[in-house]
Structure 1
């Protein structure tokens, strides 16, 4: 079994799409769908989307909910962490060794938490 996709809710599709377009720009994760209430990026291993909630209510970030992205090097972790901050994201933990792995934590513009690790 493997992860198929992950979706973060958003209250501002335009800003969320701009953030993730730039966030994924140097990777092999490409936008494959942008229609209606959902925008989707994918590569050969997984899909990621931002969506306006189907029920029409405000999107909220879950306490304890987190997307983990496995990167190829500690340099890539640090670079993507800095890029997220430059794009308006917030730090939740600077790049460092945690539990034996090099990792960093950021929140996107809707306050969703992302772990970047090698």
Structure 2
């Protein structure tokens, strides 16, 4: 429990509030346009734009970056149930699997790759 004492709780709470606020704000905004499914993407892109502007005009605190890296590493386990559900769905899709995989590739892997490249360069 010694590691528990060395956590900067203010930064952890601020980082989580920042992420949740952008996501929920984007979800609310996209719901107003009758497209709530775009909430996560718009939230991610708007957070990226704000952080890029913050980096361009100032300096992002290193403890904020470290906290974000830790959250991203630990949150990978949250995708395991989603992966299991999509595997079950794939079994029932039959001949529509190639189309589904193309859409999945374009809508998920390419934006994540671009986001990683941008984050690596600017953040």
- TM-score normalised per structure 1: 0.28
RCO higher in structure (CA 8 A, sep ≥6)? 1
- TM-score normalised per structure 2: 0.27
Considering fraction of residues, name the structure with more strand. Answer: 1
Structure showing greater radius of gyration is: 2
